[in-house]
């Protein structure tokens, strides 16, 4: 079935098709439509899930943890300040190994108050133990929602799927909605590996002394690393069912490229347009889209960028004092991988707080990196007013 829906509703449809069982929710712009649509689906009986409107985002994640501990498939959605308020529970969900799926609609953090897109909210949850998957269009949003549950439950780790505020959340696109039977064959009912069960009592989350704590973290880290092998396998199954595949990363027109952009989210679509235009003029340019941020696909990125002389990372986020976050991760991943030919590596900061990133912005970045101009700082801010 084809439907024209906004990105937020693409999430809701994915959650419905995944037969999610518990949905705790608290409204925040620009996410609210996701849980509103789910509330309608629950009320009409289309989605026989338990829906609870709680008193804060912290409680939303806490309730998801409780539901997950009882073996249920749980989902919530948030943005920006709401995600920041959840921070404590994000660590908890991951370390207690709950396969919760959450959508984060990327929105800038205050102050100054701003409701527009910016990746700093999700990226600043980097070390919580959640897997993070960034989406480029509404079809990818729906598919990723379903894939996220499969991945989460295989690893006993929570997964955050991430979409840009307004550019995706409130923009309508045609989306293929898979049949329920197809999704059921891909994503069976959750079989919790550990759960609260009156017939087999357990007590969870007791004090763990230095003798054992480190092993718990090692197992969590190891599960994250396993996603690098598992994710492509799961997506291959999805490909066989739907004909759609995204990959942890996606190289686009990089074969003989001399300049490669690194992009995420909707900026990727704009960059594809620019790359096509410049390719038609014979320029050797391409891009690599990063979909998976955690775990970071180090080997895949090294392979995709091997021998590329010029790399420009486009970051719609900022780690103050150290520059763009994707640039930092990638620089660290590439260090020592090809010591004979270290590429020119420029990081560009664009579009914070929802400032538009246009083909002109991206052309400017390509022109700059191709000029070979060396910069004495790790990050170049694009279009900042004096």
Binding site for other proteins (CB under 8 A): 26-29, 32, 36, 39-40, 43-44, 53, 55-57, 81, 85, 110-111, 113
353 DSSP assignment: G
How far is residue 258's CA from residue 250's CA, in Å, rounded to a whole number?
Answer: 17
How far is residue 310's CA from residue 260's CA, in Å, rounded to a whole number?
Answer: 6
Residue with smaller CB distance to other proteins, 54 or 177: 54
The minimum distance between CB 276 and other proteins, in angstroms, equals: 39
The SS3 assignment for 334 reads helix
Residue with smaller CB distance to other proteins, 113 or 245: 113
The minimum distance between CB 173 and other proteins, in angstroms, equals: 22
Residue with smaller CB distance to other proteins, 90 or 285: 90
Q: Beta strand pairing status for 172-176 and 2-6?
A: antiparallel
Tokens of 185: 């064959």
Residue with smaller CB distance to other proteins, 27 or 247: 27
Residue with smaller CB distance to other proteins, 57 or 315: 57
The minimum distance between CB 180 and other proteins, in angstroms, equals: 21
Residue with smaller CB distance to other proteins, 44 or 199: 44
How big is the CA angle at 345 (ends 341 and 347), to the nearest 5 degrees?
170
| CA-CA-CA-CA torsion sign (233, 135, 324, 268) | positive
Dihedral-angle region of residue 354 (phi above 0 means left; psi in -120 to 50 means alpha; beta otherwise): left
Residue with smaller CB distance to other proteins, 41 or 257: 41
Tokens of 255: 């074969």
Distance set, CA 49 to CA 23, 40, 72, 151, 341 (Å)? 7, 11, 10, 21, 54
As beta bridge partners, residue 27 has none
- Among 377, 369, 168, residue whose Cα is nearest residue 286: 369
How far is residue 233's CA from residue 146's CA, in Å, rounded to a whole number?
Answer: 14
The minimum distance between CB 83 and other proteins, in angstroms, equals: 12
The minimum distance between CB 31 and other proteins, in angstroms, equals: 9
Residue with smaller CB distance to other proteins, 111 or 321: 111
Helices in the chain by DSSP H: which ranges? 7-17, 32-44, 57-69, 80-85, 87-95, 120-123, 138-155, 180-186, 210-242, 267-280, 298-305, 325-334, 359-370
Residue with smaller CB distance to other proteins, 80 or 259: 80
The minimum distance between CB 56 and other proteins, in angstroms, equals: 4
The minimum distance between CB 44 and other proteins, in angstroms, equals: 6
The minimum distance between CB 274 and other proteins, in angstroms, equals: 36
Could you tell me if 142 and 13 are in contact, meaning their C-beta atoms sit under 8 angstroms apart? Answer: yes
CB proximity list for 185: less than 8 A, separation 6 or greater:
241
The minimum distance between CB 224 and other proteins, in angstroms, equals: 31
Could you tell me if 373 and 339 are in contact, meaning their C-beta atoms sit under 8 angstroms apart? Answer: no
């Amino acid at each position: 079935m084809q439907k024209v829906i906004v990105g937020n509703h693409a999430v809701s449809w994915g959650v419905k098709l995944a037969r999610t069982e518990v949905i705790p929710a608290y409204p925040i712009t620009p996410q609210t439509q996701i849980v509103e649509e789910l509330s309608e689906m629950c009320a009409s009986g289309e989605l026989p899930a338990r829906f609870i409107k709680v008193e804060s985002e912290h409680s939303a994640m806490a309730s998801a943890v409780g539901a997950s501990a009882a073996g249920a498939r749980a989902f919530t959605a948030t943005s920006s300040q709401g995600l920041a308020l959840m921070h404590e529970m994000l660590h908890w969900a991951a370390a207690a190994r709950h396969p919760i799926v959450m959508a984060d609609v990327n929105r800038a953090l205050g102050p100054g108050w701003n409701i527009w897109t910016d990746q700093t909210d999700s990226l600043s949850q980097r070390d919580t133990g959640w897997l993070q998957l960034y989406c480029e269009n509404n079809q990818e949003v729906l598919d990723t929602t379903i894939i996220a549950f499969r991945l989460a439950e295989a690893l006993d780790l929570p997964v955050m799927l991430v979409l840009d505020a307004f550019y995706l959340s409130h923009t309508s696109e045609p989306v293929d909605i898979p049949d329920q039977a197809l999704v059921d064959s891909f994503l069976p009912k959750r079989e919790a590996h550990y759960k609260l069960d009156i017939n087999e009592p357990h007590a969870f989350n007791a004090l763990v002394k230095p003798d054992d704590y480190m092993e718990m973290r090692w197992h969590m880290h190891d599960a994250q690393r396993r996603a690098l092998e598992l994710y492509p396998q799961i997506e291959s199954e999805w490909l066989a069912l739907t004909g759609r595949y995204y990959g942890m990363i996606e190289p686009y027109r990089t074969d003989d490229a001399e300049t490669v952009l690194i992009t995420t989210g909707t900026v990727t679509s704009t960059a594809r347009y620019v790359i096509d235009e410049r390719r038609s003029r014979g320029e050797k340019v391409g891009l690599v889209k990063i979909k998976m941020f955690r775990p970071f696909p180090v080997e895949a990125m090294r392979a995709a960028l091997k021998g590329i002389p010029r790399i420009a990372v486009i970051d719609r986020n900022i780690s103050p004092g150290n520059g763009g976050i994707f640039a930092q991760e990638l620089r660290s991943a590439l260090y020592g991988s090809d010591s004979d030919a270290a590429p020119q590596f420029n990081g560009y900061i664009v579009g914070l707080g929802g400032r538009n990133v246009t083909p002109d912005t991206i052309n400017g970045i390509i022109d700059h990196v191709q000029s070979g101009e060396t910069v004495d700082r790790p990050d170049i801010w694009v279009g900042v007013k004096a």
